[in-house]
Chains A and B, each alone.
Chain A
C-alpha cells in the first residue's frame, strides 16, 4: 500500500505571497492532519480534516487554512506569507477514529520564505 505523499517537496516563496500544499493520504484513510515543524517550536498541530470537514484546529492564525476533497486528498493554504512561516509542513493520515488513531506521516514540504 502506498504511503502518504506530499507535493511539492520544496518551495521557495517571498513575503506576502500565498502557497498551497497538497497531501494524498494512504488509501482508505479518511483523516488528514497537518503539522508545522520548526527548530524553535517543534512539531505543532495545525488542523485535522475528516470527511471534507475540519474537525479540529490548532492555535494558528487565519492565514492558515485547508480543505479536504471527497477522495480524502487535502490541501493546505497559507496566505500573506511571513518569514516565520518558513518550516517543514507535514501531513499525516489515519483511518479516522480521531486523534487517538495511529497517524502516518508524509515526507513533508519544506517551505522557505524569503
Chain B
C-alpha cells in the first residue's frame, strides 16, 4: 500500500461547483498534512496545511482531517477555471525523516 494515496483523476467539475479532492494515508502517526497546487509546467505552491481533526477554512478552500479514518480532503467552493491544476497531498512520516507526497489529483474546471 502506498503511504499517501489520491485519486489520480482527472476530476472535472463545472465552474461554480464544489470540487472535492481526497487523500488517504497509511502512517497512523502522521500529524500534519499539506495540500499543494501545481499548474502544468510550474512548481508546487502551498494551498493549505492542517494539523488538527476537523475543518480548516481559508477563503474558498476548506481542508478536512479525520485522523481516525486516516483521511484528509480539500474542498474548493465556487470552482474557477483558474483552479484547474494538479493537487498534491503531502505528509511528513511519523518519524519526521521524510516528506511523502501523493501522486496528485488532476482537476479540470469547465467554464
Which residues of A come within 8 Å of B, CB atoms?
Answer: 33, 35, 42-45, 56-58, 90, 98-100, 102-108
Contacts and interface: CB of A to CB of B under 8 A. Distances in A.
B60 interface: no
B44 A99 contact: no
A29 B36 CA distance: 20
Interface string B98-109: 111111100000
Label chain A's interface by main secondary structure: strand
Contacts of A102: 34, 46, 49
Interface in B78-104: 88, 90, 92, 96-104
B50 to A, nearest CB: 11
A42 B99 CA distance: 13
11 contacts: A33-B99, A42-B104, A45-B99, A45-B100, A98-B92, A99-B96, A99-B98, A100-B96, A105-B36, A106-B43, A107-B43
Contact of B101 (A44, A104, A107, A108): A44
Contacts of B70: none
Given A56-B97, A57-B98, A98-B96, 16 more contacts: A42-B88, A42-B103, A43-B90, A43-B101, A43-B104, A45-B99, A90-B43, A90-B44, A99-B96, A99-B98, A100-B32, A100-B96, A103-B99, A105-B43, A105-B44, A106-B43
B85 to A, nearest CB: 14
